[in-house]
Amino acid sequence: MQHNTAIPNLEIKAIIGLGNPGPAYTFTRHNIGFLIVDALADQSNESWQEKQNMLLTQIIIEGKKILLIKPMTYMNNSGEVLAYLQKQGIKQDNILVIHDELELPFGQTKLKFDGSARGHNGLKSIIAHGGANFLRLRFGIDRPIDKNHVPDYVLAKFSETKNLINAKIDLACNMVADYIKKQNS
């Protein structure tokens, strides 16, 4: 778990987990964002409600109400959920986006603020709809040796054990909670 020193102290009001809807994508690398927000919802015994083009629920971390969102638009249109957040008065710098990251070893997590999408279509969509000034939790999924295999690789099921995946998801959830706790101190 690494914290980037350039991470500003932001008031997080919404966490968007990136992924693709449907059973075919459930345990794929590209859906790690969904798996992490699912784990956050499970820890709080919350269930998901369908609203417009997303699933959402609300949890409380450190006394703060936080919206959890899973866009149901497929990865390339993830940014469409920002219109709903803007109507709720949630600005871009109140958002934490959780996504898969090819440039990190499996399970390594890093917080990052601002920056480019680096080829990630879900991030490209969010940046196109609202700008780049939001916090990201980058969850490492490794990278295939041949870059031509990336599209198949990110949509493939995990090769790691379920226990290892769950342990890394728990670490990512703890990183989110630690960041939010730090806001309150």
Residues recognised as catalytic: 30
Q: How many CB atoms lie within 10 A of CB 153?
A: 20
The greatest distance separating any two alpha carbons of the chain, rounded to the nearest whole angstrom, comes to 46
Specify the pairing of strand 14-17 against strand 95-101: parallel
10 Å Cβ neighbour count for 8? Answer: 9
CA distance 47 to 143: 33
The alpha carbon torsion through 132, 89, 39, 63 (nearest 10 deg) reads 120
DSSP bridge partners of 174: none
